[in-house]
Copies of this chain bind each other. A is one copy, B any other.
């Protein structure tokens, strides 16, 4: 066992992987712990959920990414506890002593206290989430096709898809569902017409993409409407049942009969945040994120850094930074620089997020982009979106595979990865 400074990184997402890579030449040992053996490019996960890409296309095995980085090892393990006093991370079967600990374990869906909604309205965070959503969406059409003798009302519910949450994920999911129903599946069925499917995007606020400039929100809404998506703003979901979503709009209660409901409405920091709260006295915000100091450390424990989706890091206006990949990557790189500076006794300025802009895609040749002073939409934004996302994929091979599949889908409208898989792949009940 060497005496080198040991950095333990929990989580191989954008933040953790960026930190590990930036420590490549540092005089430290690095151990990256993750429960999964791959880094997942979450911004394209909705394309897996909608049958356009395969899980492996947006994944990179962590060992392949870090295999040649000799100061780093990868451990597939589950973190059970953190002992800030003893500077140890407790795994299921082992424990790791650290000098610096980076906690970047991401987030899960936030149902705001309605945990019972989770099985009825799955969210989209993991590969398994994506294949489950794909299964539900495709089975909804299959079910409608199979049951010829049902009432028009039930048939309509079978072919109604409600997406809850008008942020980028919700917008992208709704746009992709509209494309599937209107184009991909057109002509594939005999008893039903998939183009009659209803897609409803429900947002509690007064506009979709609330973090974008108003003009782009309006553009996105127009584009979605043109694709056939019903955008229902100022609609607060108050109930999700087996075949129905209940929303409140101002004082009115509206019931939407719908067989398939997808959740894109909120995130909640990893449960490791609660561990840090209990053991290191960290403060959590309402979304379960750890409130970090300007250098991303936990107050009282400068050797513990919290990054990415599970960190509440205030920007210069005091607002928490959004849970997006660029924030996570910049925090990972910052954390590595901070560790290197501390090793040589230097000080470092607080973390500052350089906002390089945000983009969201809506459908074929349709996107919105907000890049510094530039706000643009339509084909140019879409091409910019395609290019940036392709280039950010970690594995070069995946860039080629994804590009090829995008080109093919663009020409044919096909989505070849529309497989219904899983142990309950065949299910005739209302799963």
- State whether A416 and B398 are in contact (beta carbons under 8 Å apart), knowing that A55-B54, A188-B63 are contacts in the complex: yes
Which of A31-39, A254-262, A377-385 interfaces with chain B? A31-39
User: Are A55 and B128 in contact, CB atoms less than 8 angstroms apart?
Assistant: no
A196 shortest CB reach to chain B, Å: 17
Which of A7-15, A75-83, A157-165, A321-329 interfaces with chain B? A75-83
A395 shortest CB reach to chain B, Å: 6
Residue A425 CB within 8 A of the other chain: yes
User: Are A414 and B426 in contact, CB atoms less than 8 angstroms apart?
Assistant: no
Residue of B nearest to A143 (CB): B76
- State whether A416 and B145 are in contact (beta carbons under 8 Å apart), knowing that A67-B187, A92-B428 are contacts in the complex: no
CB 8 Å contact bits of A52-93 with B (1 = contact, 0 = none): 001111011101100110000111111000000000000011
CB 8 Å contact bits of A402-429 with B (1 = contact, 0 = none): 0011001000101011111111011010
User: Are B423 and A128 in contact, CB atoms less than 8 angstroms apart?
Assistant: yes
A37: which of B36, B92, B420 is its contact (CB, 8 Å)?
B420
User: Are A404 and B400 in contact, CB atoms less than 8 angstroms apart?
Assistant: yes
User: Are B190 and A73 in contact, CB atoms less than 8 angstroms apart?
Assistant: yes
User: Are A63 and B146 in contact, CB atoms less than 8 angstroms apart?
Assistant: no
User: Are A78 and B426 in contact, CB atoms less than 8 angstroms apart?
Assistant: yes
A138: which of B35, B37, B147 is its contact (CB, 8 Å)?
B37
User: Are A68 and B187 in contact, CB atoms less than 8 angstroms apart?
Assistant: yes
With A and B bound together, what is the CA distance between A145 and B94 in angstroms?
12
A188: which of B59, B67, B420 is its contact (CB, 8 Å)?
B67
Residue of B nearest to A52 (CB): B56
User: Are B401 and A397 in contact, CB atoms less than 8 angstroms apart?
Assistant: no
With A and B bound together, what is the CA distance between A405 and B63 in angstroms?
19
Task: Given contacts A36-B425, A37-B419, A73-B191, list 17 more A-B pairs with CB under 8 A.
Answer: A35-B425, A35-B426, A36-B420, A37-B138, A38-B420, A54-B57, A56-B416, A61-B418, A64-B418, A76-B139, A76-B142, A76-B146, A93-B147, A128-B422, A395-B416, A397-B412, A401-B405
Could you list 28 A-B pairs, sorted by A, with CB under 8 Å?
Answer: A35-B425, A35-B426, A37-B138, A37-B418, A37-B420, A38-B420, A54-B55, A54-B417, A56-B419, A59-B416, A63-B188, A64-B188, A64-B414, A64-B416, A74-B188, A76-B139, A76-B146, A76-B426, A77-B428, A92-B428, A93-B146, A128-B422, A128-B423, A397-B405, A397-B408, A397-B414, A400-B404, A400-B408
